[in-house]
Structure 1
């Protein structure tokens, strides 16, 4: 049995309060990992194409004030 399968069995046995606590922790943990990945990608220049596209649209007059 894999570690994931063991975790799945253990999670299935949790009471509602414990499951809710785990779910909230997983959501926060996932968001934190996502933020770190976005920051790493940004620092590596992998998102520069988005900045360049937005600047080009703005310079072409395709944007509006919010």
Structure 2
């Protein structure tokens, strides 16, 4: 049994309260990983082209208020 299969089996065996707690923890875990990745990409300049394009469109009046 692979590690992933072991995790899946363990999660499937959780009672409803444990599953709810695990789900909340996992959602927070994923959000933190996402935030770290976005910060790393921004620091590495990987988002610069997107920011430049958005600013150019804003300056050209191609945007609308939200």
TM-score over 0.5 for the alignment? yes
RMSD: 1.3
Alignment: residue pair count: 66
TM-score calculated relative to the size of structure 2: 0.90
Residue 63 (structure 1) shift: 2.9
Structure 2: 5+ residue stretches without partners = none
Structure 1: 5+ residue stretches without partners = none
Displaced runs of 4 or more, over 2 A: 63-66
Q: Any residues of structure 2 matched to 1:15-30 within 5 Å, and which?
A: 15-30=15-30
TM-score calculated relative to the size of structure 1: 0.90
- CA deviations on 1:5-61 (whole Å, 9 max, x unpaired) are 111111111100000000010000000000000000000000011110111112212
Q: Note if 1:41 corresponds to 2:41.
A: yes
